[in-house]
Amino acid sequence: MENLGFYNGEYDLIENMKIPMNDRACYFGDGVYDATFCANHTIFALDDHIERFYNSAGLLGIEIPCTKQELGDLLTGLVKKVDSPEQFVYWQVTRGTAPRNHAYPDSKANLWVTLKPLTSADIAPFEKKYKLITVEDTRFYHCNAKTLNLLPNVLASEKAKRAGCDEVVFHRGDRVTECAHNNVSILKGGIFRTAPTDNLILPGIARKHMIQICKDNNIPVDETPFTVKDLMEADEVIVSASSLLAIQAIEIDGIPVGGKAPELLKFIQDEYLKIVKEKTGLKK
């Protein structure tokens, strides 16, 4: 298959799939999701992503209609049905299907999966350098749950696109939180600094892996809040996500940033890519 859509046990090409209008995703965005990539039909960091997916669902009181093992087996099997060995792997669960009512329905949750082709160039595109803009973070206070409620992120991303930039850095007052669809971390004085995993950021899997790489290689890690000023004065600014891994940002709000610790940044990138290659056999 060229791509694949899955809904509650049925699957077909994404463009052929039909979703009930009464799915609560349509009315309320009432659900959570997660996503990663696969290379050579092997899903990278699947256990980490499934763990976060169940945690997000638990924060919203959604009961996922299968076990973690069953979900892992399902995703592992579905990626083999798509021709491309490299894919964007996305799944979500919604609270159920029922006539519109704000109160929770007495219905079983709905499981969705979509699989779309990637190329090896889409994974760890370290040659790309990001330009960012800063935007006040007006999202709600449940950012640690990977919910479907992404309208503020969409609006901010459009603002970045119109400014000729690649991503947004959200901040609440002076405190940097995260990007519109990635995490942001910095290197300063040989220390890897990243925001704490409280309710204001999503606990990114790439962020988790970079922290472990640093700890394994005696690079100090600081998981306390940092400011917009810290961001602008950092030795390096790193945008991280599942397929991006760790991308260097070179400009924020039109001002050049980073570029002062290229060797340390490249070391982290190379170590991360090494892990991906070992786990998936990615050729890059």
- Strand pairing category for 183-188 and 175-179: unpaired
With a CB cutoff of 8 Å and minimum separation 6, the contacts of 160 are 132, 133, 135, 166, 167, 168, 180
Q: Give dist(CA 249, CA 239) in Å, integer.
A: 7
Q: Give dist(CA 123, CA 19) in Å, integer.
A: 30
Name the phi and psi angles at 50, rounded to 5.
-65, -40
In the residue annotation, 146 being an active-site residue is answered as yes
CB 242 within 8 A of CB 206: yes
- H/E stretch holding 265 reads helix 262-280
Instruction: Say which amino acid occupies 272.
Output: Y
Among the options 80, 81, 116, 146, which is catalytic? 146
Q: Which tokens is 251 given?
A: 């400009």
Cβ atoms within 10 Å, residue 281: 12
What are the Cα distances from residue 157, in Å, to 35, 162, 180, 278? 18, 9, 6, 33
CB 30 within 8 A of CB 101: no
Q: What is the 3-state secondary structure (H, E, C) of 188-229?
A: ECCEEEECCCCCCCCCCHHHHHHHHHHHHCCCCEECCCCEHH
Task: Give burial (CB, 10 Å; 0-12/13-18/19+) of 114.
Answer: buried
Known catalytic residues are 146
